């Protein structure tokens, strides 16, 4: 079958680790394009990945947040569930820096 993304490669069976938010959810089977490398997963595999993410407590950790003003600076609201997952507490030191289209906060 031809790749619906690049229209150049063909899809071959592949088995890859699915890593979400730095947590390895395990090996899952799908089909990978021989040209662009896009991985296609079936509906049941997507459900299994979702179940694994829920079991590891990382499901729904990525979400929209608001940037607010505090004095002359801007502040990013970190949702409670994300703070608990990363064990972030008020007053903790962090290192903040830019990346390509990202803001990185390291602890």
Query: What whole-number distance in Å separates Cα of residue 59 and Cα of residue 47?
Result: 12
The H or E element spanning position 71 is: none
According to the binding rule CB under 5 A, does residue 33 interact with Zn ion?
yes
Binders of Zn ion among residues 1 to 30 (CB under 5 A) are 3, 5-6, 9
According to the binding rule CB under 5 A, does residue 35 interact with Zn ion?
yes
Whether residue 1 contacts residue 10, with contact meaning beta carbons closer than 8 Å, is answered with yes
Phi, psi of 35 (to 5 degrees): -100, -60
Q: How many residues bind Zn ion (CB under 5 A)?
A: 8
| Listed ranges 38-46, 60-68, 70-78, 82-90: which one lies at the site for Zn ion (CB under 5 A) | 38-46
According to the binding rule CB under 5 A, does residue 56 interact with Zn ion?
no
């Amino acid at each position: 079958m031809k790749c619906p993304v690049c229209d150049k490669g063909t899809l071959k069976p592949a088995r890859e680790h699915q890593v979400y938010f730095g947590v390895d959810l395990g090996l899952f089977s799908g089909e990978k394009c021989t040209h662009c490398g896009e991985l296609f997963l079936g509906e049941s595999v997507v459900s299994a990945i979702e179940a694994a993410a829920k079991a590891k407590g990382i499901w729904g950790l990525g979400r929209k947040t608001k940037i607010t003003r505090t004095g002359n600076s801007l502040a990013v609201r970190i949702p409670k569930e994300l703070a608990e997952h990363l064990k972030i507490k008020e007053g903790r030191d962090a290192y903040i820096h830019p990346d390509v289209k990202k803001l990185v906060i390291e602890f």
